């Protein structure tokens, strides 16, 4: 099996990155992580890249981020970009250049609760269920074709932190399942 070359974009703790790294240790997993890019120098997820000897780059200049990222991605012949806790909206131009090759994970059952402050909004709406969605990135925020959703019931005693922790456990499974699903047809 020829594995696809992947780049993971992160901004924070990197727990989804860690989960994907673990999946790549399976011989039959369809991607290899060739690069991690962060827009934050302090992103803790960079430590996972270091620990697993994955090349990484931090690009903190907002105006130059996409230009530099694009150069590195092309140089490394990246075939798929996974946004994993990447807290920045990519430009329409960048998305067009990688149409159908950028995926994202969002902590809600899209199309509900697009954007930020998801857990607070879910609790305020008194939803009975929530979860996560892995989707292709298009030019509209949290709007691309859905690859996979995972759902949980919301315990009425949950606070934001407990809800976030429960959804993140789903995310760790969903992201790798989505990647397998994408490449099971190719």
113: alpha, beta or left, given left = phi > 0 and alpha = psi -120 to 50? left
d(CA 44, CA 58): 12
d(CA 6, CA 146): 19
Q: For residue 109, is it left (φ>0), alpha (ψ between -120 and 50) or beta? A: beta
135 is a catalytic site residue: no
Indicate which residue of 4, 106, 135, 150 is catalytic. 106
Q: Which pair of structure tokens corresponds to residue 83?
A: 């946004």
For 80, the token pair is: 């798929």
Q: Which residues are catalytic?
A: 106
């Amino acid at each position: 099996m020829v594995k696809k070359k992947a780049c993971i974009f992160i901004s924070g703790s990197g727990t989804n990155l860690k989960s994907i790294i673990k999946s790549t240790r399976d011989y039959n997993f369809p991607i290899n992580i060739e690069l991690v890019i962060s827009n934050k120098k302090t992103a803790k997820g960079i430590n996972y890249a270091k620990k697993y000897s994955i090349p990484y780059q931090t690009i903190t200049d907002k105006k130059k981020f996409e230009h530099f990222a694009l150069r590195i991605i092309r140089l490394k012949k990246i075939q798929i970009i996974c946004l994993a806790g990447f807290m920045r909206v990519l430009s329409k131009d960048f998305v067009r250049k990688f149409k159908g090759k950028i995926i994202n994970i969002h902590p809600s059952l899209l199309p509900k609760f697009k954007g930020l402050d998801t857990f607070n909004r879910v609790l305020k709406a008194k939803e009975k269920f929530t979860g996560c969605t892995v989707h292709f990135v298009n030019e509209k925020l949290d709007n691309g074709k859905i690859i996979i959703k995972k759902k949980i019931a919301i315990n009425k005693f949950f606070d934001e932190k407990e809800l976030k922790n429960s959804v993140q456990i789903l995310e760790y499974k969903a992201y790798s399942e989505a990647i397998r699903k994408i490449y099971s047809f190719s």
